[in-house]
Structure formats: structure tokens, C-alpha cells
Amino acid sequence: MSEHTSPERVVLLDDQHQPTGTALKSTVHTEDTPLHLAFSCHVLNSRGQVLVTRRALGKRTWPGVWSNSFCGHPGPDESFEDAVARRAQQELGLEIRNLTVVLPEFRYRATDASGVVENEFCPVFIAVADDDPRPAESEVAEYSWAAPHDLVAAVESAPFAFSPWLADQIREPVLREALG
């Protein structure tokens, strides 16, 4: 896997989730964000705990909000498997294994308090890691390993404290079952 040296691009999609082109990631998230391809990943450890991360305070959208383990965007012609492994390494310093898609058709649209819109077709994955993360400060403010039932309870009781995509994902029975 090579490091991306050119500016990161996202894959734009039509309403049937078919590629229509690409755009610079730095310009795509606005008040009128086009539908684009993304992914979300929940990482489990050998104790059955799920990794939750608090987004860095410098993030453009949802700064300081607790979320799933990590998210990202596959580049043009990049497989989900390669993109997820790349972002696990870049964002969390983690090697992951047993990558499995659990919500292949997940899509969401949400507007941040600043007015920036997330509009993503975003398959959701689960993976396993054997080590604790070494997060990039530009991506993650802090992290915690949580029992899945504690995460579900926290999101249900205070959904405003979590990213909207995590709150939506946690409502899905297939994800709850996969988390354990």
C-alpha cells in the first residue's frame, strides 16, 4: 500500500450509488455536499470490546464528537479493503484483520452545527485489532475501548454526544449482533 502524495479525491455517486466522477475531498464537504462514497469501521479487540474515538477538535465536521472507530473515503479505483486498511494505519496506527462488511447499503445525510453536510453512501465494516491504537492527533482527540452493550446504551441515552452516523448505525440490529 503506497502513501497518497497527491490531494485526496472522493468518488461521486448518483442516486443508484454508481460512480459519476471524482472531486477533491478538501472541496466536497460544504453546505451542498454531493453524494459520495465512504466507509465506516468498528474495531473490536480480543476482549470483545469496541473501539470508540473522539474526533479531533480541529476536524471540519463534528469536531470533538465521539464516533465509531474510524471512517474514510476509498480513492478512485481503490478497493474498500485497501481503503479501510490504509485509514486504520493512517488514523489509528492499527493493523486490522478479519474485515467484514455488516451494513453494505448504509447511507446517511446529516448537517453539522456549522452547516457542513455529510452525504455519503457508506458501507459499514467490522474488523479486529490486536493492539491499542496510536492515533494521529489531527484525527483523534482520544479513544476508549467499550463493552458493546455500554456503547449502545450510551448512544441511546445521549445520541447528541455522538456522530449522527454512529447513532444511525447503532440502531441497526445486524450491527448490534455483529458487535456482540
Nearest-angstrom CA–CA distance, 165 and 145 = 19
Catalytic residue among 71, 91, 122, 139: 71
In our burial notation (b when 16+ CB lie closer than 10 A, e otherwise), range 7-43 reads eebbbbbeeeeeeeebbeeeebbeeebbbbbbbbbbb
Q: Distances in Å between the alpha carbon of 87 and those of 2, 69, 139?
A: 12, 11, 10
- The DSSP result for 55-88, as a single string, is EPTT-SSSTT-EESSEEE-PPTT--HHHHHHHHH
d(CA 141, CA 150): 20
Q: Which of 41, 91, 118, 120 is catalytic?
A: 120
The distance of Cα 92 from the centroid of its chain, to the nearest Å, equals: 12
Q: Which of 167, 173, 157 is nearest to 52 (CA)?
A: 167
The secondary structure element, H or E, covering residue 151 is helix 148-157
Q: Is 122 annotated as catalytic?
A: no
Active-site residue set: 71, 120
